[in-house]
Amino acid sequence: MFDGFFGSKYRFAVLVVFFNGNNRSFLASDIVKLSKLTNAAVKSELQHLQDFGLLISSLDKKRGKYYYSLNKNFLLYSEVHDLVLKMQASLIEDLLKKIGILKSISLLILTDKFLNLAGDSVDLLIVGKLDKKKILKFITRLEKEFNRNIEYTVFSHMDFEYRYSIADKFLHDILIRPKLVLINKSYDLID
């Protein structure tokens, strides 16, 4: 699916590393490790993305190695970021379907790491009538897919509605952060 939009599945994997990297610079070897791609595939994609203008590189003269980072001045930076984010959301929805819990979720919100934001808040908020084993399986597979730990919280409908009604600080702090609402079947949320 991603090949059609990005020209290769490798390019998408490299872009995910950068857009989920909290504005870090990476060595090619870091990207190989995080994307689980071969050296040759990563070097080819880095060159392509640099030629395209989305990446910039700088030489660490002491180490003799190049660091790569996103070029935030690239004309289509925001559009590429949004596209990568939406494609990650699509991956998450596909995973929810495979595990069989998509229909049980009434609210699913992505924040922090999924939006390339620094912070120590929850990355994923889930509300629904859910089986704990299936949620754990989902989170484990999600962490493996994105190659990072994901901070998450799960609420039942009743618990979410109660916490929302009393303006619970923990929940309020999640809801006021920048977020991407993937699923919302029945809640009016604060923006």
CA atoms within 13 A on the CB side of 94: 8
pLDDT at position 6, please?
A: 63
Q: What is the pLDDT of residues 134-179, one digit of tens each?
A: 899 999 988 888 777 888 999 999 999 999 999 999 999 888 888 8
Query: pLDDT-derived band of residue 4, with 50, 70 and 90 as boundaries?
Result: very low
pTM above 0.85, yes or no: no
Chain centre to alpha carbon of residue 99? 19
What is the amino acid identity at position 36? K
**CA–CA separation, 159 and 47 (whole Å):** 49
Nearest to 18 by CA among 52, 56, 75, 60: 56
- Residue linked to tokens 């030629």: 51
Q: What is the pLDDT of residues 23-74, one digit of tens each?
A: 789 999 999 988 888 999 999 999 999 999 999 999 988 999 999 999 999 9
Secondary structure (3-state) at 42 = helix
**CA–CA separation, 4 and 181 (whole Å):** 25
Q: What is the pLDDT of residues 119-134, one digit of tens each?
A: 777 888 999 998 889 8
